[in-house]
Structure 1
Amino acid sequence: MTALTRIFSTTAFKLAAIYLTSFTALSVFLFIYISLSTDDLMNKQVVQTVDAEIQGLAEQYAQRGISGLVIGVERRIRSPNSNLYLILDYAGNVIAGNIAYLPEKVLSETDGRIQFVSYTPLGRPGAEQGEGQKKDSAIVRIFELPGNFKFLVGRDLEDQVHLKSLLGDALTLWLVGMVVLAGITWFFLNRRILKRIDNLSMSSRQIMEGDLAGRLDVTGNGDEFDRLASNLNVMLDRIEALMQGLNEVSDNIAHDLKTPLTRMRGRVESALRRGLSAQEGQECLEDTIVEIDELIKTFNALLRIARVEADSTGAKLEPIKLAEIVNDVCELYEPVAEDGGVTFSVCVEAKPVIEGDRELMAQALANLIENALKYGRPIDKDVRPAIKVVLSGKDDQAILSVEDNGAGITEADRERVCNRFVRLDSSRHAPGSGLGLSLIKAVVTLHHGELELTSACGLDDSAEDEQTGLCARIVLPLSKEQRGEGEGNEAWHMAQKKNVDN
């Protein structure tokens, strides 16, 4: 009973029942409609046939009287057809005809109107008695002739009855076949759906038990279950990445922030043990405040990264001109670069419009420039540091890159350096927390773009071959207006060409 209840409560069974009921009702409606329409058409044809026979016999009666009518009826009786004839005298005796029995009530109606009657044909055993015999159906007209003669002309409806029987048998076979087919379809559909749902439930249960690496099965059919499983798997990938990031942040906080906290505690303990002068105590407090400020900056950066990754910064992605952001940020950092002896150049090859947040994009570019200023120093001290900011466009993408001629980052470390608190050995001499690229990557991901770290070959021709530097490239999709087809793309390419020419 539990298994039956479970089966009857499934969506597959309910859908099968709905479809079966709907098709059954439609089939019955079509059968009734076809049957009534066919009956009406055939009745009209029968009436026309009867009227034609009456017309022919009426001409013979008019020419030769009752004897000519009898001769015409007998001649027609001998021809094999479905027509019915009957001539009775004033006493009710049969003069000619092919009807053995007809109810008296029918014979009393002699006004010539169409009547649907039951009769027994002549020649059937026991037909004269009429009682207990199988009756056939017919359409007749009965007239009363001079001399109290009664004249009947009609036509048997056996063809119509046979057609109705065929239609009824066809409907029965159709309904039986439809029920069987619906049952078979429901059986396989129910098994397939229940199996898929059971697999989804089992995978979901494993994930709920803590196995975040588990994924829902995708058969590759492209059906609704595959699309649902694919979307859920993408969601699970995102959840797993966030949980992994949370674990990494927790581990990194525990390891990387433990050192400055321990150092501050040691400084305070040492100050308490020693009798410091007022100036020494002030210096100790100032150093402690500096380290506390650095810790606060680190926590603020972590919080901002988390908010950007969770898309809870309140950022509104709207069309912004990326060239304006590049010009504003570069104008701000150009004096800083000059004071540090860095050659700073800006090249705006296109003026793309993207869907983004102006503040976040400005901060991402500022972080890239600051990283280049801090860590993009050439190995050869005789080589002048150089930074180049380039904004270009290709196809439906805007490309923003910041290049330097420093030592660069090895290919093996380029993916790892985007994680939180990751600092390479070559950069540990400079202040920082290792969160800059993490924030940039979060901002770029929020804008549906990509962050690429490659070598910046050819930035400084005087540099040695091994000093290839680093090229941090942000690739962003254009706004819908510039990403449009036809005239939109043509206008975009024309604008690019104009910018390059200028």
Structure 2
Amino acid sequence: AGDRGDGMLYLVATAEGRPLAGNISGWPVGASTSAGSLSFQIEVPGKRGEESHPARAKLFVIPDGYRLLVGRDIGDAAAFRDRVKTTLIWSGLLALAVGLVGGTLMSRNMLRRVEEVNRTAERVIAGNLSDRVPRLGTADEFDQLAANLNSMLDQIERLMAGMREVTDNVAHDLKTPLARLRARLELALLAPGNTAAQIEAIRAAIGEADRMLATFNALLSIAEAEAGAGSEAAERLDLGELAAAVAELYEPVAEEKGFAMRLNCAPGVLIRGDRHLLPQALANLLDNALKYGASPAGGSEITVAVLREGGRAVLEVGDRGPGIPERDREAVFDRFVRLEPSRSTPGNGLGLSLVRAVAHRHHATVALADNRPGLRVRLEFPEWTAAAE
């Protein structure tokens, strides 16, 4: 058989299958003689001789038993289908190969980043607290993990440095009072017959013990505030009422020392905080103001103000004393730091450390400023709102 058209096939044949007209040279081998759809193979001339192509046609039986076969050579469609199938297979194999290579590279990169974290952790465990996880600047999940781990290591390093500093400072600052305590007790033993001298020595020893206990209590309060212990005790507080209550307790002492206590509290300034730590912090500020806030020109006064500013609850304590030089305003928040003019007054250098710890515990900021003249301490708290609950 041969294809002598553009792909269309037709054949008119007798009942016995002898061709009468058409572009197929003979009845297809194996094709049915019943009316309906047929599938068969035809031979067509090609570049390499005769080629077998698939064909589909419809058979009509016309009067007198003649057969009419009309169809199409579907060799091109079959070839196209085979090419698509081959292309899909090779594309799938290529995608699989690329996926395997890409997955291997990605897994190696991920394992390398994880190994960097492990090596950093091993060095930190070995005692190198200054080591950090390297970052590539890609802003991906591993970079975010590295940033969080580095922040955690920064905090641990700060806490460890603070612990060492506190240990050193405690040992240094308690050495002198313990030596004085021992000396006074020795004096009491050396004068067994002198009851008055013994009583005085014991009284002085008790005073030294009380000062040491006050130091330890202040350290414990700072540790409690920094650790967030008792966070479940946070409650809604009126900052103005709290400040007024503490200031009222200090009014007799202030009056006795010649200070005028001025209170200016806006109503309804609410915060969420600890009812026990906040009064301690304010009491420390008032203690400092009474110790160091006397005006050289007379007319000493202490102002306590509570106000609302820019969506923040603000607590300010000011005095008219000599103030603190700007270069020292950050250092005085460290434990056991006492500036030269204050060394002759009683104290342990922990008051402002506790204030800062309490402020951080309440997500607040604390800053020292010039009161012109004097010192002004400003604490800014997040203001409580119903939406914050």
Give the structure-1-normalised TM-score. 0.70
Q: Which residues of 2 match residues 28-43 of structure 1 at below 5 A?
A: none
1:365 alignment counterpart: 282
Supply the distance in 2 between the matched residues of 1:236 and 1:332 (Cα, whole angstroms): 43
Size of the aligned set, in residue pairs, is 387
1:88 and 1:95 in contact (8 A); partners too = yes
Q: Deviation of residue 190 (structure 1)?
A: 4.3
C-alpha offsets along residues 142-200 of structure 1, whole Å, 9 cap, x if unaligned?
23344443332222222431331342244235324434543564465345434433433
Q: Which of these residues, 301, 314, 317, is aligned with residue 218 of structure 2?
A: 301
Percent identity, aligned pairs only, is 37
Q: Deviation of residue 452 (structure 1)?
A: 0.8
C-alpha offsets along residues 353-383 of structure 1, whole Å, 9 cap, x if unaligned?
22322322222112111111122123x2x51
Q: Which residues of 2 match residues 353-502 of structure 1 at below 5 A?
A: 353-378=270-295, 380=296, 382-457=297-372, 468-481=373-386
Note if 1:210 corresponds to 2:127. Answer: yes
Supply the distance in 2 between the matched residues of 1:271 and 1:87 (Cα, whole angstroms): 142
The one-letter amino acid paired with 1:384 is G
Q: Deviation of residue 477 (structure 1)?
A: 2.3
Q: Which residues of 2 match residues 320-359 of structure 1 at below 5 A?
A: 320-349=237-266, 351-359=268-276
Q: Provide the alpha-carbon RMSD of the alignment.
A: 2.9
2:31 alignment counterpart: 106
- Show structure 2 runs of 5+ residues with no match: none
1:118 and 1:135 in contact (8 A); partners too = no
Q: Which of these residues, 143, 151, 155, is aligned with residue 234 of structure 1?
A: 151
Greater Cα offset, 139-148 or 226-235: 139-148
Cα distance change on mapping 1:357 and 1:100 into 2, 3 Å: farther
Cα distance change on mapping 1:326 and 1:101 into 2, 3 Å: farther
Q: Which has the higher helix share?
A: 1
Note if 1:317 corresponds to 2:317. Answer: no
Q: Which of these residues, 163, 178, 190, is aligned with residue 95 of structure 2?
A: 178
The one-letter amino acid paired with 2:9 is L
Q: Deviation of residue 266 (structure 1)?
A: 1.9
Supply the distance in 2 between the matched residues of 1:123 and 1:217 (Cα, whole angstroms): 71
2:161 alignment counterpart: 244
2:141 alignment counterpart: 224
Cα distance change on mapping 1:139 and 1:317 into 2, 3 Å: farther
Q: Which has the higher strand share?
A: 2
Note if 1:143 corresponds to 2:65. Answer: no
Supply the distance in 2 between the matched residues of 1:160 and 1:311 (Cα, whole angstroms): 77
1:86 alignment counterpart: 11
Q: Deviation of residue 297 (structure 1)?
A: 2.1
Cα distance change on mapping 1:123 and 1:299 into 2, 3 Å: closer
Supply the distance in 1 between the matched residues of 2:48 and 2:13 (Cα, whole angstroms): 20
**What secondary structure, in the 3-state scheme, does the structure 2 residue paired with 1:263 have?**
helix
Supply the distance in 2 between the matched residues of 1:253 and 1:470 (Cα, whole angstroms): 28
The one-letter amino acid paired with 1:286 is R
The one-letter amino acid paired with 1:473 is R
2:123 and 2:131 in contact (8 A); partners too = yes
2:184 and 2:202 in contact (8 A); partners too = no
- Show structure 1 runs of 5+ residues with no match: 1-76, 128-132, 458-467, 485-502
**What secondary structure, in the 3-state scheme, does the structure 2 residue paired with 1:257 have?**
helix
Q: Which of these residues, 97, 105, 110, is aligned with residue 22 of structure 2?
A: 97
The one-letter amino acid paired with 1:474 is L
The one-letter amino acid paired with 1:431 is P
| Runs of 4+ more than 6 Å apart | 124-127
Cα distance change on mapping 1:389 and 1:168 into 2, 3 Å: same
2:28 and 2:42 in contact (8 A); partners too = no
Supply the distance in 2 between the matched residues of 1:355 and 1:221 (Cα, whole angstroms): 39
